Amino acid sequence: MLLDAPADSCVTLEVFEDVGLETEDGHKTASQVKTGLVKNPLADGSPELWKTLANWCDSVERGELDPAKTIFEIYVAKFRKGKLATLLSEAKSAEAARTALAEVGKSFAKKPSGSRSVVKETEAAAYANRVLRFDAIALEMLVQNFRVTTARRNPLADLRPAVAAKWIRPESVELVIQHAHGWIKERLDGLLLEQKPAIITVNEFNREILSFLPRCDFRTMVTSMAGLPSSEQVEAEKTKTYVRQLEIVDLDDDAILQSINEYLRAAVTRTKLAEQGIVHEDSFDDYQEALTSFWRNKKRQNALTHTGHKPEGLGQLLFSDCCLHKEKLQGLEMPAYFTPGSFHTLADDEAIGWHPDYLTKLRGASA
């Protein structure tokens, strides 16, 4: 709501509704929040639906909410539907509101007095009938301003594109959302401790986020995606092909340990970048092609300019050149471990190697 609200408005928590919005000219949005995880709060027989509408009628009667200047919203954190709730939500004229309310009346009509069976009034019916007894003109206005909003997937997944659309590139979305959540919670907790209404102005929210954006460094964010691997993970890597490739050119143990760390961290980062949609799958292919091209050209250059080196020396030289190389991924600067780790992925697939005759050496090592 803070993302979508106009400047100079404010968003509230449990002031006149679960979540509320009040604009500078006095218009309000009263949003009742439902999880919808277990039961459907929009079902025709849901007590939650009719209790919410009854409570709004009470608020109108007390003068707390003006039905002509308030949007009455039920927000459900899961995609849910209900026949009567949809009918009411879609009624945007006085005539449509009267028709929708007539349908509600039919659904909860009591059986004729001559009926043999006496059915006890349900909780939902009790609230619905309370709504139907409310002032007709005010009720019709309330219905015209009533809407149902449901999450497309889930609240957090729906939030990501909204943040990206308002401010930033996709790669910084998670950092901004985490900061916004933390700031909002701290701000609200402080107000509640001071026994003040939990109100956040949109202007102060925007100022906070805009001041945070320059601190969003992509490389810092990506580095945080992949922490250091455990000793067990490192040990398990020592039989992998990319490690054998390093051993073939007599690389020392410290360099091999660093290479294992780079390989594992790069693998985790690639997975997370793909899962979060920050980097397109085709960009990884382009990236590997660029690395392979660099390796091929550098290998040829070293063979021509370092004719006196032994094969192992040429391999170490080629390995060092590749580790010092910096390649952007989809135009993004990557952290220091990513390019070397990606070279190791290619070496593990035997697409590249460090020793001039690495394939023959690998076959010999396997034998």
Each residue's pLDDT tens digit, 193-226: 999 999 999 999 999 988 887 666 666 666 666 6
Q: How many domains does the chain have?
A: 2
Top pLDDT among 354 and 277 is at: 354
- Domain assignment present for residue 2? The answer is no
Domain region containing 176: 10-215
Residues 292 and 331 in one domain: yes
Helix, coil or strand: residue 263? helix
Domain end position, chosen among 189, 215, 241: 215
In a domain, 85, yes or no: yes
Same domain, 69 and 193: yes
275 and 163, same domain (yes or no): no
If asked whether residues 161 and 195 sit together in one domain, one would say: yes
What is the pTM assigned to this prediction?
0.59
- Of the given ranges (5-19, 237-251, 262-276), which has the lowest mean pLDDT? 262-276
Q: How far, in Å, are 119, 208, 229, 288, 348 from residue 243 at the CA level?
A: 76, 47, 16, 19, 8
pLDDT digits (tens, 9 = 90+) for 47-104: 999 999 999 999 999 999 999 999 999 999 989 999 999 999 999 999 999 999 999 9
Residue 5 lies in a domain: no
Residue 197 domain-assigned (yes or no): yes
* Whole-angstrom distance, CA of residue 358 vs CA of residue 217: 39
Q: Are residues 201 and 239 in the same domain?
A: no
Q: What is d(CA 108, CA 319) in angstroms, rounded to the nearest whole number?
A: 78
* 253-302 confidence digits (pLDDT tens): 999 999 999 999 999 999 888 877 778 888 999 999 999 999 999 999 99
Least Cα distance to 59 among 49, 46, 72 occurs for 72
Distance CA 129, CA 76 (A): 23
pLDDT score, position 367: 47
Rounded to a whole number of angstroms, the distance between the first and last alpha carbons of the chain is 64
Over residues 338-363, the mean pLDDT reads 95
The Cα–Cα gap between 117 and 101 comes to 26
Query: Mapping DSSP to helix (H, G, I), strand (E, B) and coil, where does residue 193 land?
Result: helix
Residues 266 and 163 in one domain: no
Give the pLDDT of residue 100. Answer: 96
Q: Is pLDDT of 251 > 90? A: yes
In percent, the amount of the chain with pLDDT more than 90 equals 69
Segment holding 29, helix H or strand E: strand 28-34
CA distance 329 to 323: 16
Q: Are residues 38 and 173 in the same domain?
A: yes
- Is 261 within a domain? yes
**Position 113 pLDDT exceeds 80:** no
Residues 286 and 203 in one domain: no
**Within this chain, do residues 260 and 169 fall inside the same structural domain, yes or no?**
no
How does residue 338 score in pLDDT terms, banded at 50, 70 and 90?
A: very high
pLDDT of residue 176 exceeding 90, the answer is no
Q: Report the chain's mean pLDDT, rounded to a whole number.
A: 90
> Is 137 in the same domain as 40?
yes
More confident residue, 109 or 348: 348
Q: Is residue 102 part of a domain?
A: yes
107: in domain: yes
Q: What local confidence, expressed as pLDDT, does residue 346 receive?
A: 97
